[in-house]
Amino acid sequence: MVVLSSGKATTQEMGSEMEGRVLESSNSQETEGGERCWIRVKISPCLILFSGLAFVFGLFGGLAQADTVIADSEAAQHVGQTVSVEGTITKVFKSKNGNTFLNFGGDYPDVTFVVWIPQDAPEAADPNLVNLEGKKVKIVGTIQLYRGKPEIKVSAKEQIVVE
C-alpha cells in the first residue's frame, strides 16, 4: 500500500504508525511550494517471505532437474546452456590443489566432458566421489569451455545424480 500525503509530519508521527506487524518505509521530498510530501510504502511480512521463497526456488529449483538431457559426447555442442549431461565416469581425479575432476569418455586430455568440483565446494570433501568411477550419472548445470573441453562446475550435491 502506498500513501501520499502533504503537509508537516514529524518523525514521531511517522514512527507511531510503524508499530504492528507491517514494515513501513518512508521518504519525503520538498514540493515546489516548500511543503514536504511524504511517500509511505507498507510491506506485509507475508509478502517478504513469499518473495524470498520465490527467489530461492528460482535460484536453486533448476539444479535438481534440467529439461534437456544430452550425452557426454554432445556436451561441446551445448556450451552456455543449462542441461543434464548423461554418461559414464571414466576417471575420478583429485588435484594437488584439492579440486576434484570427474572425467567422461577417457583420461584427460582425451575426454568428452569434465565435471569440476572446486576445493571449497562442500561436495569436494565427500570421500564417496571415488566410488563414482565406472558409474552412469547425470550432471546438471551450465556447460562452459575450459581449454577447449566442455565442463560443468558443481557447487551442490544435487547437481550429481547417480543412475
Q: Encode pLDDT of 33-85 as tens digits.
A: 666 655 565 666 655 655 555 544 444 444 445 689 999 999 999 999 999 99
Q: What is the pLDDT of residue 67?
A: 83
> What number is the average pLDDT over the span 117-139?
95
Residue 136's pLDDT is what?
A: 98
Residue-range domain boundaries for the chain: 2-60, 69-162
3-44 per-position pLDDT tens digit: 444 444 444 444 444 444 444 444 555 556 666 655 565 666
pLDDT at 72: 98
Handedness of CA 77, 147, 63, 95 (dihedral sign): positive
- Distance from C-alpha of 97 to C-alpha of 64, rounded to nearest angstrom: 28
16-20, 98-102, 123-127 — which is least confidently predicted?
16-20
Reported as type and span, the H/E element at residue 153 is: strand 149-153
pLDDT of 2 > 50? The answer is: no
First-last CA distance in the chain? 50
Residue 45 has a pLDDT of: 63
How is domain 69-162 classified at the architecture level of CATH? Beta Barrel (2.40)
Q: Which residue has the higher pLDDT, 5 or 99?
A: 99
